[in-house]
Amino acid sequence: MPAAPSAAAPDSNPDVVLVVDFGAQYAQLIARRVREARVYSEIVPSSMPVAEMLAKNPKAIILSGGPSSVYAEGAPRLDRAIFEAGVPVFGMCYGFQLMATTLGGTVDDNGAREYGRTPLTVSQQGSTLFEGTPAEQSVWMSHGDACSAAPEGFTVTASTDVVPVAAFENDEKKLYGVQYHPEVLHSTHGQQILEHFLYRGAGIEPTWTTHNVVEEQVALIREQVGTKRAICGLSGGVDSAVAAALVQKAIGSQLTCVYVDHGLMRKGETEQVEKDFVAATGVQLKVVDAQERFLTALAGVSDPETKRKIIGREFIRVFEQAQLEILQEDGPEVAFLVQGTLYPDVVESGGGTGTANIKSHHNVGGLPDDIEFELVEPLRKLFKDEVRMVGQELGLPDEIVQRQPFPGPGLGIRIVGEVTKERLDLLREADAIAREELTAAGLDREIWQCPVVLLADVRSVGVQGDGRTYGHPIVLRPVSSEDAMTADWTRMPYDVLAKISTRITNEVADVNRVVLDVTSKPPGTIEWE
């Protein structure tokens, strides 16, 4: 979503491409790739009735892949009406096979399994999808069943050594499909194919930009808040900072930002919030010292979900107290709470695709039922990199916009075990060392984030100062990602890892071991709790 200051005026109902999720691990990636083409996209579950999909007036529909066989009992199905509504449709992998079988083509289990990089032969290089791409290209396959005959009216445009119908097109009905995954980088011309569908097949103009987002959200915020006032919980992270800056642009002095010093922040971050953000925006900031309150509420609690919910609950209670104090000032009612909820937060909390809840999120699933505020969530449909672009559009400094992601519950979910002041102080020092060394090595942009985790309930044997010790292990979790929906562990230089390990074990009391987490997401999440 490149910035474009000259973009068109905001539209409260932007052109939308629906990504129908059939349980694919790449559904969110498809949505991102559409947005990278400057076209707005949303994910909907395959269980949504077609009538509801069409009621959203989509400019196009993309059918994702999925783990099922189209012939399996209980496999996701789709009403034929979606292909007869006149809306351009693009099927990928499972979505391609579903389109084929629904419209009278043939898909069978003939042993033509293909996984990973696969050579594709394009037989119709001048077609809508393949115009300007080479006759031989590498694509990413992941299928068991294969299409052996296209539906009537479709032109076969590509094949592989074992799959005779690897792509087909019907320009008259604006229906297109490919057996592979164009959304992944391993498909060498995948983004070009996707853009050909959007621009050529569906006739969509690429006008969705950061400028549009800012102007649209400013208008929506003004309409929602009216003449009342809002408060925003600043965490010091990118999400809450950009959300606050957007709301500040919309309603100015009607917004008061509340920074809750809950004692779960990293070293020096409270001072950074008070200095950098206020200087950049001129926002009204109220600082609340609630460290003792949070520690008391978390005492004796080790379960991660319980910790998240406690932290979310206490945040709201502190905001309510801040509201009472703000209400003593002259001015309109404080009726709104601004939150930096992102699209991955919504999806992972079960609110985006109809999938199972992975974890409750502080900005989504951790709020109490009796919340007294109406939520303002201007970033709810954005991915993290899009949020950074919006922050740049708003003129926020790089020190804020490019800061590594940090969870709303703070260090409370980076301590595996009970949260105590002593453990927080220990983790703060270890985290500060890791951040200092990553910055010194110039790795801040390469690494998406590097959670530093304290295994508080684990003791390991060590030798320090010629004596036997039983210290805590510290886990380094450096990951690379575009949007946190998927991630891979970062291959950091060994000398940097060695320096971090040496400094932590030498400088942080009660730590005698540093370990590296080399798990991708999936199967692991980025945070340990």
How far apart are the C-alpha atoms of 240 and 174, rounded to whole Å?
Answer: 41
Contacts of 306 (CB under 8 A, 6+ apart): none
How far apart are the C-alpha atoms of 349 and 121, rounded to whole Å?
Answer: 41
Q: Number of C-alpha atoms within 13 angstroms, CB side, residue 315? A: 27
How far apart are the C-alpha atoms of 192 and 130, rounded to whole Å?
Answer: 8
Q: Which one from 36, 147, 181, 429 is the annotated catalytic residue?
A: 181
Please give the C-alpha separations between residue 437 and each of 450, 478, 481, 491, in angstroms, as whole numbers.
Answer: 12, 13, 20, 15
Reply yes or no on whether 93 is catalytic.
Answer: yes
Which of the 8 DSSP states describes residue 116?
E
How far apart are the C-alpha atoms of 107 and 111, rounded to whole Å?
Answer: 12
Q: Which one from 36, 93, 362, 527 is the annotated catalytic residue?
A: 93
Q: Which one from 36, 114, 169, 183 is the annotated catalytic residue?
A: 183
How far apart are the C-alpha atoms of 35 and 24, rounded to whole Å?
Answer: 18
- 44 and 19 in contact (C-beta within 8 Å)? yes
How far apart are the C-alpha atoms of 438 and 497, rounded to whole Å?
Answer: 9
Secondary structure in 3-state letters for 496-508? HHHHHHHHHHHHC
Reply yes or no on whether 181 is catalytic.
Answer: yes
- 92 and 183 in contact (C-beta within 8 Å)? yes
Cα radius of gyration (the chain) = 25
Task: Give the residue numbers marked as catalytic.
Answer: 93, 181, 183
